Structure 1
Amino acid sequence: MNTKVLLPFLITTLLVSDSLVPEIGHAEPPIQVAQSIWKPFSSAAGNFTVLMPGTPSQEQDTVNTQFGSLNLNGFSVERPNEAIYWVAYFDLPGELSNRIQTSGQINEFLTAVVQGLSEGVEGQLLNQQTITLNNYSGKEFRTQHGEGVVGRYRVYLVNQRVYLLGVVTSKENYLQKSIQGFFNSFRLAGGATGTVSPPPPNLNAQLQQAVCNQNWSQAMNVVNRMIGQTDSQEVRQQLFDYKQKLQGFANSNAVVPASELADCS
């Protein structure tokens, strides 16, 4: 997989917008943040919850890539003269997601995200380590920016969805507990196991129609959307197995008798 094609949309728009990477002031050390400022924030569309030090502002943008359009969504809270905390997510197009299946490909993709974000915010990558969220792969990394500003980040790949969390601050030493608490509060909306409901009925209906029409490419696109909407490892594996069968039909160019397709006779 050529990960270089990923860097333009990781560097531009949402990740390096003025609202997400502001200039951090250098006033006196901040007063310890009262615990009461931390409020639970949830995004139904993003399928996550996290603690934020205030009410976040939202950023949205659409980026056209060779793989299709990406809808970027971000939420940020700026604490003046202290730090900015942000969460962002976007879904990978099916064609690109198909190229990121093995553990090696996932690691390559996440490494590209780390490098792309570091370069995009003109920071020096200091360190990185592999992490997980409900058995999904991720990276935690730290960058050094100009004028003593430090960036702390986490990125996760959850099926077709990419989640990014960041804290940009010049007061890192004073905010260790706040930064770690922010990162550790991030949860998928399905709970500790990341389990959510199966794909909605409309996708099942679309899949059934595509299969009955023997439009295998369309059927695989629907399956990709289903994979992106479930965090259940069991359901995800079933969908991957089914997709392999559809790929076999597509490769053979054979016409399957309707009687052999469930509910298509």
Structure 2
Amino acid sequence: MTIKGLFPLILTILLSNSTGLVAANPPKNLVSPTKPKAASTHKPVTQPLQPKWKLFTAPDGRFTILMPGVPIRNTQAQKTHMGVINLQLFVAQPAKQEVAYLVVYNDFPYSYGQMANPQDILNQARDLALKTTKSNLISQGNIRSSNGHPGKEIEYINSAGKITKARMYFAQGRLYQVMAVSSKKQHKTLAKTIAGYLNSFQVVLKTGNI
């Protein structure tokens, strides 16, 4: 049994949401030109406020993560050979920044979750992410969640220059994908923020399940 039919559906949702989200907003001319030495009645122009990062807890309580505001949720049911799979997507984008922060997860049927090899699932997720987004892999490595579940960290860039840094975990029959998609221009300046975002993700184990 494979899960190849599922990942393109996840990635299609991610692409349809993140493509517009990470597009740069055109700058606005906030200061009107004035004559030299003329008294100005305009209020001083202030810099855009930095996003307020808050701890977000999933509606079902199964994960927590720091988000720049309340993320937008998108739920979509997809038919697969395993049955109906519900995809849950949470996305947030700070104003005036060329970055989108996403968490997407899906639960597998119980029988499949019992039989599946976690590394196979993670490797398929990596390969299909690269193929579907037509991206080149920059780096990868095996990781584990704070409570010991297997994971993988990857970073890749597509032809448009969008860089995605993602961490994926397989825990209790659920695949989590935690991503930050940024422009190449802002990737370096946002590196510490993205790292903090990814580090803040915590899987909350559901008692009574494996």
Which one has the bigger strand percentage? 2
Percent identical pairs in the alignment equals 27
1:1-265 pair list within 5 angstroms: 2-12=2-12, 14-16=13-15, 18-22=16-20, 23-25=22-24, 34=50, 37-45=52-60, 47-79=62-94, 80-100=96-116, 105-133=117-145, 134-170=147-183, 171-189=186-204, 194=205, 196-198=206-208, 227=209, 236=210
Residue 42 (structure 2) aligns with: none
- Using the TM superposition, give the Cα deviation of residue 121 of structure 1 relative to its aligned residue in structure 2, in angstroms: 2.3
Residue 256 (structure 1) aligns with: none
**Comparing both chains, which one has the higher relative contact order based on Cα–Cα distances under 8 Å and sequence gaps of 6 or more?**
2
Tell me the amino acid that sits aligned with residue 20 of structure 1.
Answer: S
Aligned-CA RMSD value:
2.4
Paired with 1:33 and 1:172, the residues of 2 have a C-alpha distance of: 19
Unaligned ranges ≥5, structure 1: 199-226, 228-235, 237-265
Max Rg structure: 1
Paired with 1:99 and 1:9, the residues of 2 have a C-alpha distance of: 22
Tell me the TM-score normalized by structure 1.
Answer: 0.63
Which runs of structure 1 show a deviation greater than 4 angstroms over 4 or more consecutive aligned residues?
Answer: none
Paired with 2:49 and 2:153, the residues of 1 have a C-alpha distance of: 24
Which one has the bigger helix percentage? 1
Taking a change above 3 Å as real, the CA distance of residues 70 and 44 of structure 1, as seen in their structure-2 partners, is: same
Q: Deviations over 1:174-220 (max 9, x none)?
A: 0111001100111123xxxx4x433xxxxxxxxxxxxxxxxxxxxxx
Unaligned ranges ≥5, structure 2: 28-46
Tell me the amino acid that sits aligned with residue 122 of structure 2.
Answer: L
Taking a change above 3 Å as real, the CA distance of residues 32 and 129 of structure 1, as seen in their structure-2 partners, is: farther
**Corresponding residue SS for 1:19:** helix
Paired with 2:163 and 2:172, the residues of 1 have a C-alpha distance of: 29
- Using the TM superposition, give the Cα deviation of residue 24 of structure 1 relative to its aligned residue in structure 2, in angstroms: 2.8
